[in-house]
Amino acid sequence: MVLAPYALLIVPMAVLNDNPDIGFIIMLLALALPGCLVVEFAFLKRMGRRGDWQRALVEANSGYPYLYKIARSAALVSVTADLLNAWAGQGTIFAQVTGEIVASPAALVSGLFMGWRYLAFALLVASLLAGQASRLACLRWTLCLLGTQLVVVLATALTAPLMTYLSFLVALAAICGLLHSRFIIVTALALFLIWPAMYEARNDLRTDGGVAVDETETSGDRLRLDLQVTRASGHDAPVDIERPGPSQIVRYGLVPRMLDQDRPAISTGIRINEYLGGTSTSAYTFLSLGTIYFLDGPWGVVLFHIGWALVGILLLRAGGAPGPIRLGLFSFVVAAPLMWSRTYPESMILFVQFVVAALPVLLLLRLGRRRSRVVPQGARSGT
């Protein structure tokens, strides 16, 4: 999760374009990766062989007789909520430019299902592993979830939701042994090829909506994420700017906006942009890794990745392989704190929001769990 986006895109772009600050990127990775590896090596004896773990994964998910039905229901609710949210105008580039907080009933209701798109895919994976759903059925539902994010792109004029969700799908499927590494490489190359067309379509949507677009920035320039990261190297970290504290993480994470409509929006990206000399109508980050360094310094990068690697390993390994409940919680770790494109520290708030929103589904899974877990003949074993 930490290394892949840098190995596939950011470092290669820095090398191809002779980025003089490539050493800064390597330094960030040198701070983040050892913390992750220390945690993983500490649990190495408990992991065993990957094949044994994947067989245990099949068994752990076989004790939930209504798993696939719950997964489909979560997918339907997620699609409905995302479409409703987009229709209400929440999270659009137009709302970002105007600084407007959409507080319509539709937006407030759809906000109660934050993170269900990630939970739905995790439960679909669990259903596949348990033998309750075929690969084709899971693929159809996954394409439905992914297609919804494409509609969100058309409604919001932002490509980030689609790219973030696609990154999540590939990451979780690969971790669960459902994708080979060559598929990930092919997917990355395909996205690289279609990106210019996506970029032009996004700009057209923004122009049609009355938002000014920088005509001098090409699709190739937008792929220079290495420059986005290395811009943090010109500042003495940590930098003291306004950002969410522990009390705000609790407030924004645990309390739905429906019950706290007067609270202002949080955007560390806007605060960073203002610090860099920009305006409050645009946001800027150094991607997740660079932003952690910018706000918390080198030790912040180390401690952040040690902490979240520990959470991830405990969800995947503690007490054996994860069933759908722990797999769903792990999906939120992948989708929020460990997602390479997320804004820190909002990613921490997102994780809490996702967990709170998913509690009804997790409780339903818990109540429907079968005590004796027998692996059905059609269950899938990882390869």
Please classify residue 256 by burial: count the beta carbons closer than 10 Å to its beta carbon, then call 0-12 exposed, 13-18 middle and 19+ buried: middle
And the tokens for 361? Answer: 């589904």
pLDDT in tens, 272-309: 988 888 877 778 899 999 999 999 999 999 999 999 99
10-24, 53-67, 80-94: which is most confident: 10-24
Interhelix angle for 116-130 vs 324-335, to 10°? 140
**Span between the terminal Cα atoms of the chain, in Å:** 20
- Read off the pLDDT of each residue in 54-80 and give the average, rounded to a whole number: 88
What integer best gives the mean pLDDT of the chain? Answer: 82
| Residue 368, pLDDT score | 79
Who's near 289: CB < 8 A, 6+ residues apart?
Answer: 2, 6, 28, 29, 32, 229, 301, 340
Output the DSSP codes for 278-327.
--TTS----HHHHHHHHHHHHHHHHHHHHHHHHHHHHHHHTTSS--HHHH
| Residue 20, pLDDT score | 92
Who's near 173: CB < 8 A, 6+ residues apart?
Answer: 125, 179
> Cα dihedral angle (258, 259, 262, 264), rounded to 10 degrees?
-70
| Residue 361, pLDDT score | 94
d(CA 85, CA 372): 41
d(CA 132, CA 343): 36
Who's near 357: CB < 8 A, 6+ residues apart?
Answer: 112, 113, 114, 115, 116
**What is the DSSP secondary structure assignment for residue 9, as one 8-state letter?**
I
d(CA 242, CA 127): 43
- Read off the pLDDT of each residue in 41-66 and give the average, rounded to a whole number: 75
Q: Are 364 and 70 in contact (CB under 8 A)?
A: yes
- Read off the pLDDT of each residue in 15-19 and give the average, rounded to a whole number: 90
Q: Return the higher-pLDDT residue of 68 and 90.
A: 68
Tell me the whole-structure pTM to 2 decimals: 0.86
d(CA 140, CA 162): 17
In the chain, the DSSP E strands lie at none
pLDDT in tens, 341-371: 888 888 999 999 999 999 999 999 988 776 5
CA distances from 297 to 30, 219, 239 (A): 14, 31, 8
CA distances from 19 to 26, 237, 274 (A): 12, 21, 25
d(CA 337, CA 32): 13
| Residue 382, pLDDT score | 44
**What is the DSSP secondary structure assignment for residue 17, as one 8-state letter?**
T
d(CA 152, CA 92): 9
d(CA 180, CA 182): 5
d(CA 117, CA 162): 12
Q: Are 71 and 123 in contact (CB under 8 A)?
A: yes
**What is the DSSP secondary structure assignment for residue 261, as one 8-state letter?**
T
Provide the percentage of residues in the chain whose pLDDT is more than 90. Answer: 32
